[in-house]
């Protein structure tokens, strides 16, 4: 399996799809508790036109937790290291939730490394509901473990339609979350997430072409916060009805359509 080892000795797992000779690259950035497997359904649509890079951020999936305290700055450093080691000077970044936050932070810090941005399920502020939700996941994880936390997270990360349509397979989703995560690593990531700097520190001159996608049934990202972020980034904002926080999983064909159309421009 392909791994890259950072300067502080942390092994980062990654995988690639599509043509290695493609001049246009997309890097997909997972949300918390997700792994590279989350994006599997998107491969056929995107691999025809792009070189695709998927990776597990430190503390996710097959990547190490590492010895250094987790921070947004450290995640950005890991992403830059990945790009450098794979010979990628500039890429399109497609991130969801925590992954979107890392993508935006890199675009602010090094705009020359980013061609276009797709930010799913991200707003300009961390709402009080979102903060308390993360705190509740932390407590459940400490007291009752991964399975209890995963069950509690379902109504926050999926919309009503998805939950109804997949009622009989929710236990399989929970088992997948348990299998792909480690308690110690997830505790460290969730605790770090609560210490991240404010999201609204987008510089006035920010000019990376950006698409923001949010779900109308997402309790963690109010539409007004997403629109505020869109205004700050001078971005196009699509607010999608009948969809929750996990847009690529809940509406994969719509997600592909919107992202491909944006990346064509």
In order of 52, 116, 150, 172, 224, the CA distances from 27 in angstroms are 6, 11, 26, 27, 27
pTM of structure: 0.96
**Residue 205 pLDDT:** 87
pLDDT at 1: 62
pLDDT of residue 163: 97
- Tell me the two tokens of residue 76: 């950005």
SS3 214: strand
Q: Is 3-126+197-264 assigned to CATH 3.40.50.1820?
A: yes
Delimit the domains of the chain by residue range. Answer: 3-126+197-264
CA distances from 254 to 17, 50, 132, 215 (A): 21, 18, 30, 12
Q: Where are the beta strands (DSSP E) in the chain?
A: 3-5, 11-17, 25-29, 51-55, 91-96, 114-120, 210-215, 236-240
Q: Where do runs of H (alpha helix) occur along 166-246?
A: 170-180, 183-193, 223-233
pLDDT for res 22: 67
**242 Rama class: left (phi>0) / alpha (psi -120 to 50) / beta:** left
Supply the pLDDT for residue 43.
Answer: 85
Report residue 193 as tokens: 């997430």
Q: What is the pLDDT of residue 87?
A: 93
Residue 170: per-residue pLDDT: 97
Strand 3-5 and strand 51-55: pairing?
Answer: unpaired
The DSSP output letter for 4 is E
Distance CA 107, CA 103 (A): 6
The per-residue pLDDT string of the chain (265 residues; one tens digit each, 9 = 90 and over) reads 699 999 999 999 999 998 776 679 999 999 999 999 999 888 888 998 899 999 999 999 999 999 999 999 999 999 999 999 999 999 999 999 999 999 999 999 999 999 999 999 999 988 899 999 999 999 999 999 999 999 999 999 999 999 999 999 999 999 999 999 999 999 999 999 999 988 777 888 899 999 999 999 999 999 999 999 999 999 999 999 999 999 999 999 999 999 999 998 7
Other CB atoms closer than 10 Å to residue 223's CB: what's the count? 14
């Amino acid at each position: 399996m392909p791994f890259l080892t950072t300067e502080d000795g942390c092994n980062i797992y990654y995988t690639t799809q599509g043509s290695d000779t493609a001049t246009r690259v997309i890097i997909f950035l997972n949300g918390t508790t997700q792994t590279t497997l989350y994006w599997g359904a998107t491969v056929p649509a995107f691999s025809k036109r792009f070189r695709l890079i998927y990776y597990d951020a430190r503390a996710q999936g097959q990547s190490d937790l590492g010895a250094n305290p987790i921070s947004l700055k450290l995640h950005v450093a890991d992403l830059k290291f990945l790009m450098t080691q794979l010979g990628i000077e500039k890429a399109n970044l497609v991130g969801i939730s925590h992954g979107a936050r890392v993508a935006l932070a890199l675009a602010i810090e090094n705009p020359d490394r980013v061609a276009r941005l797709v930010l799913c399920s991200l707003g300009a502020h961390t709402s009080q509901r979102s903060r308390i939700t993360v705190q509740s996941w932390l407590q459940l994880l400490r007291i009752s473990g991964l399975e209890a936390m995963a069950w509690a997270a379902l109504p926050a990360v999926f919309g009503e339609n998805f939950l109804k349509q997949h009622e009989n397979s929710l236990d399989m989703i929970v088992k997948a979350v348990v299998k792909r995560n480690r308690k110690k690593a997830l505790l460290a990531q969730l605790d770090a997430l609560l210490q991240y700097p404010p999201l609204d520190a987008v510089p006035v001159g920010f000019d990376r072409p950006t698409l923001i996608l949010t779900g109308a049934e997402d309790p963690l990202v109010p539409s007004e916060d997403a629109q505020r972020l869109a205004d700050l980034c001078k971005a196009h904002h699509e607010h999608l009805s009948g969809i929750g926080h996990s847009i690529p999983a809940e509406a994969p064909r719509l997600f592909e359509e919107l992202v491909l159309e944006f990346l064509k421009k």
